[in-house]
Amino acid sequence: MYPWFALGHLTPFLHVANKLAKLGHKISYLIPTKTQPKLQPFNRFPDLITFVPITVPHVNGLPPSAETTLDVPFPLHPLIMTAMDHTEPDIERLLRHLKPDIIFFDFTHWVPKLARSLGIQSLHYCIISPVTIGYTLSPTRKFTGEEVSGADFMHPPPGYPDSSIKLHLHEARAFASKRASTFGSDVGFYERQSISLHEADGLAYRTCREIEGQYIDYLEREFKKPVLLSGPAIPEPPTSTLEEQWAKWFSGFRTGSVVYCAFGSECTLMKEQFQELILGFELTGLPFLAALKAPFGTESIEEALPEGFEERVKGRGVVHGGWVQQQLILEHEAVGCFITHCGSGSLSEALVNKCQLVLLPHVGDQIFNARMMANNLKVGVEVEKGEEDGLFTRDSVCKAVKTVMEESSEVGKEVRENHAKIREMLLKKDLESSYVDNFIEKLQKLKG
């Protein structure tokens, strides 16, 4: 396994490695040397999963100790990719020595060609959802040559199975500009992804047919190669208990009444949007906990709060700048609503719990995850934003929360019923194991 050097990719690869090792399969997991201790505690089968250290080559512009995207600001991420590209000779030597049957990869577009020359099968294991890949990377879209405008991304490609999924103008412009950008070694971001998808012997996703079946079928038709599924990323049962300060705070509210909001470790809002968000919570009249990073241009949460806000929400509202135990919070009976950025990990945690979903995506696949949840599966309500500027208001936040929380809301009733059905499906006893068994069967076929 050779995942992109970002914890959001390294961790899911290790997750699937654990699933395979549990059934006796051997995995060599290629990982930057200094990052190894961070993931070692999550290797549940050290006898079968061997961490193989990779020395990250120096690239001009990168700090000497940088290995993963966590070590550098966002604008330097392409240099981490360039460094990864420079590991190709080392990876070739390792593959010759290890002689694996299959190599799992994602961003290193040169892996399939290298693997083929050594008689090894390559599997593009993608942590981004099929709904996103099908829309943005369909073979009908061109990634070299002519200019592409935002308007080109506003509508799905020909044959895409879901007409309810479209981009707003501000989102389409962002995708078009991403397409024009290079991402390591003078290779375009989408070009890199497109080569990976076309050259790999198979494609794989951590999802299930019950949720994304039509998008999976579309990818199989368009790319004309097998699509393997390792199953939904259902979180492991927590081994700890909720910190006392939060357990005590939640216990002061009735069942299903608290609004909880978190946007992951990488999302930072502009100050104006941060304020609109929490003023929206105030407008609902409901108790709330918002676990957010301090917005751009501010040193702390306290500095960013609107004037008089703390006094007005005292006793029912908390804006917290530190880490919280999200999985345990979502399981708490007092939590009735989760406002999420629609990262795949957060959605997995939310769907297996009873709290209702308010969707507020920011970038990339979060947008498609939100559209699928709101428009196709109808298990959540998306916060309305301006078509051109992409900004939300306190009123649009309040409206979305009230829609899912009020018993009299018809949309809310539909969302609650659909969420309950999906939750029941995901918690079926044999769901995960049946997907893993099928995944291994298809890996054996790929191996030949």
What pLDDT is stored for residue 238 in this prediction?
82
- Per-residue pLDDT averaged across 376-401, rounded? 96
Q: 99 in the Ramachandran plot: left (φ > 0), alpha (ψ -120 to 50) or beta?
A: left
Are residues 308 and 217 part of one domain? no
CA-to-CA distance for 205 and 227, rounded, in angstroms? 8
Are residues 204 and 342 part of one domain? no
Nearest to 285 by CA among 245, 337, 320, 238: 337
- The per-residue DSSP string of 350-410 comes to HHTSSSEEEE---STHHHHHHHIIIIIS--EEEPP--TTT----HHHHHHHHHHHH-TT-H
Instruction: Band the pLDDT of 145: cuts 50, 70, 90.
Output: low
- Beta strands 258-262 and 227-229: pairing type? unpaired
Nearest to 18 by CA among 43, 37, 52, 38: 43
Q: How many domains does the chain have?
A: 2
Exposed (0-12), middle (13-18) or buried (19+): which is 39, by Cβ within 10 Å?
middle
pLDDT at 143 exceeding the cut of 60: no
Residue 178 lies in a domain: yes
Among residues 106, 162, 201, 365, the one annotated as catalytic is 106
For residues 140-153, one letter each, b for 16 or more C-beta atoms within 10 angstroms of the residue's C-beta and e for the rest, the string is ebebeeeebebebb
Which residue(s) pair with 180 in the sheet?
A: none
Element (DSSP H or E) covering residue 213: helix 209-223
Q: What is the CA radius of gyration of the chain?
A: 22
Q: Is 182 helix (H, G, I), strand (E, B) or coil?
A: strand
Are residues 324 and 228 part of one domain? no
The answer to whether residues 87 and 94 touch, using CB atoms and an 8 Å cutoff, is: no
Are residues 281 and 150 part of one domain? no
Residue 1 lies in a domain: no
What pLDDT is stored for residue 239 in this prediction?
82
Nearest to 368 by CA among 157, 186, 196: 157
Which residue(s) pair with 289 in the sheet?
A: 260, 318
**Amino acid letter at 88?**
E
Are residues 438 and 331 part of one domain? no
pLDDT tens digit sequence for 344-356: 889 999 999 999 9
pLDDT tens digit sequence for 299-325: 999 999 999 999 999 999 999 998 899
Are residues 417 and 273 part of one domain? yes
Instruction: Band the pLDDT of 148: cuts 50, 70, 90.
Output: low
- C-alpha 49: how far from chain center: 24
Are residues 269 and 406 part of one domain? yes
Q: 197 in the Ramachandran plot: left (φ > 0), alpha (ψ -120 to 50) or beta?
A: alpha
On average, the pLDDT of the chain sits at 94
Residue 60 lies in a domain: yes
Q: What percent of the chain has pLDDT over 90?
A: 84
- Beta strands 288-291 and 27-32: pairing type? unpaired
Residue 135 structure tokens: 């829309």
Residue 420 lies in a domain: yes
pTM (2 d.p.): 0.92
Catalytic residue list contains 106: yes
Residue 2 lies in a domain: no
Among residues 9, 109, 332, 362, the one annotated as catalytic is 9
Residue 175 structure tokens: 């995708």
Are residues 169 and 52 part of one domain? yes
CA-to-CA distance for 29 and 6, rounded, in angstroms? 14
Are residues 20 and 146 part of one domain? yes
Structural domain that includes position 173: 7-235+429-447
Instruction: Count Cβ atoms below 10 Å from residue 304 Cβ, excluding itself.
Output: 22
Residue 257 lies in a domain: yes
pLDDT tens digit sequence for 204-263: 999 999 999 999 999 999 999 999 999 998 888 888 899 999 999 999 999 999 999 999
Instruction: Band the pLDDT of 15: cuts 50, 70, 90.
Output: very high
pLDDT at 142 exceeding the cut of 70: no
Are residues 407 and 392 part of one domain? yes
pLDDT tens digit sequence for 152-211: 788 899 999 999 999 999 999 888 887 777 888 889 888 899 999 999 999 999 999 999
Are residues 439 and 390 part of one domain? no
Are residues 52 and 19 part of one domain? yes
What pLDDT is stored for residue 178 in this prediction?
77
Residue 198 lies in a domain: yes
pLDDT at 334 exceeding the cut of 90: yes
Residue 270 lies in a domain: yes
What pLDDT is stored for residue 160 in this prediction?
96
How big is the CA angle at 342 (ends 129 and 268), to the nearest 5 degrees? Answer: 120
Residue 65's alpha-carbon distances to 61, 68, 75, in angstroms, are 12, 10, 17
Instruction: Band the pLDDT of 147: cuts 50, 70, 90.
Output: low
User: What is the CATH number for 119?
Assistant: 3.40.50.2000
Which residue(s) pair with 381 in the sheet?
A: 358
CA-to-CA distance for 196 and 139, rounded, in angstroms? 12
